[in-house]
Structure 1
Amino acid sequence: MPEVIFTGPAGRLEGRYHPPKTKSSRIALILHPHPQFGGTMNNQVAYQMYYMFAERGFAVLRFNFRGVGRSQGSFDHGLGELSDAAAALDWVQSFNPDARACWIAGFSFGAWIGMQLLMRRPEVEGFISVAPQPNLYDFSFLAPCPSSGLIVHGAADRVVTPNDMQSLIDKLKTQKGIVIDQQIIDGANHFFEDKVDELIDVCGTYVDKRLEAAASEEDAA
């Protein structure tokens, strides 16, 4: 798990990088929760998500948004953080030019940034959004959503109402050819306290399913 420093739009960005199993392995970018509420790349959900992808052979990068940890700059209400995420994806792609495709996984604030990034990057084939907050952040940019993905949230989440979450999922499901999986974890709050292992199991199962389907398509071709 080498520590890496790379250049972002506002200066140095600090990250952790796990190299891929093969040259053509997929890339995964992990985006942490809100910087002003204690979110860092070492958040348990982001940390465990990183290892979940690494165990499946991905080239994985998690990093601190500007102003967090050793990353330079200051919080920019999402605009700068989206630029940070794009720079991070550029950086990991520069080391993996033969990567088959890319995945983006974000938690809470990171889910909002991640879904904006996938709108801009056609190479993204899948996403995982953990506890997105459509009641706080504008998701109207997802028209249409370009990639299939998984949205996971807790049944006991008091930050996001069930109606808000359902409205977002219903909107995404209207896109032709795009499949949005939804998983609700019983008893889980917004931060998945005491439920992180269950969350990661759900995410890992989803990634395995998608990888198996992609392998079948490649074999058929």
Structure 2
Amino acid sequence: MVQKGQFLERSTLVPVGAEVMEGTAHRGKRAPPLLIIPPRPDEGGGMDHVIAAELAWAAASAGFPTLRFNHRGVGASQGKRGKDLALLEDAEAAMRVLLETAGTSAVAVASLHGGAQVALALQARFPSVGGLCLVAPADVDPAVLGRVTCPLLVVQGEGDGRMPRASVSAAVARAGGEFEVIDDAGATFQRNLPQVGHALSTWLQRLSGG
């Protein structure tokens, strides 16, 4: 039995076409629920990434439902590893599961590293993405960030030089979003990881209106 205050994610199956992806979910009563998109498979990442775990814990601790998943061909997810459109299809399938289980019409989406490509494509295609958080985004043209039409949060480590900070900051400002730089941290946040979770939790609470 789960005691009050305990954090327990439950295994979840995410159907995508004829195949099934593995995921883990946490219940919550606040909206919007949070979909966590892992790094792209070619980056070697999955839903068990330490940053994904931190985001799930931070969101769930604040009362928001969460779902994180492994793309097809990663971990115990069925199928072959895909690229671009296939990854978008995976994220769409996970989003639909979260919308159904949480009983909402909109979700917030958080991505890690190259998963930003998938998150941005999902937001551009589906109005049900009501908020976008990109953690340590990579391989994205900063100008694309300026065209995001929903509430946007970008979190970057102070020592992460993969995307130019000035360009990212300017693009996020054009979108009316928020840009958070974590001091003394790199792309993997081996230092000050809890600050990433705090930034996400605070942002989600603003989205919820409370």
Shorter-normalised TM range: 0.7 to 0.9
State the percentage of identical aligned residues.
29
Distance in structure 2 (CA, Å) of the matches to 1:72 and 1:140? 35
Q: Specify whether residues 188 and 143 from structure 1 end up closer, same or farther in structure 2 by C-alpha distance, changes over 3 A only.
A: closer
Q: Residue in 2 aligned with 1:2?
A: 10
After TM superposition, what 4+ stretches of structure 1 lie above 6 angstroms from structure 2? none
SS in 2 for 1:173: helix
TM-score by length of 2: 0.86
Of residues 11, 16, 20 in structure 1, which corresponds to 2:28? Answer: 20
Contact 2:142 / 2:171 at 8 angstroms: preserved in 1?
A: no
1:107 equivalent to 2:115? Answer no
Q: Specify whether residues 12 and 139 from structure 1 end up closer, same or farther in structure 2 by C-alpha distance, changes over 3 A only.
A: farther
Contact 2:35 / 2:95 at 8 angstroms: preserved in 1?
A: yes
Gaps spanning 5+ residues in structure 1: where? 216-221
Contact 2:11 / 2:22 at 8 angstroms: preserved in 1?
A: yes
1:78 equivalent to 2:81? Answer no
Of residues 153, 157, 163 in structure 1, which corresponds to 2:156? Answer: 153
The amino acid that maps onto 1:188 is A
Instruction: Give the deviation of 1:107 after TM superposition.
Output: 0.8
Instruction: Give the deviation of 1:44 after TM superposition.
Output: 0.8
Q: Specify whether residues 139 and 75 from structure 1 end up closer, same or farther in structure 2 by C-alpha distance, changes over 3 A only.
A: farther
The number of equivalent residue pairs is 202
SS in 1 for 2:110: strand
Distance in structure 2 (CA, Å) of the matches to 1:137 and 1:161? 8
TM-score by length of 1: 0.82
Q: Residue in 2 aligned with 1:171?
A: 171
Instruction: Give the deviation of 1:9 after TM superposition.
Output: 3.6
| Alpha-carbon RMSD | 2.2
Q: Residue in 2 aligned with 1:120?
A: 125
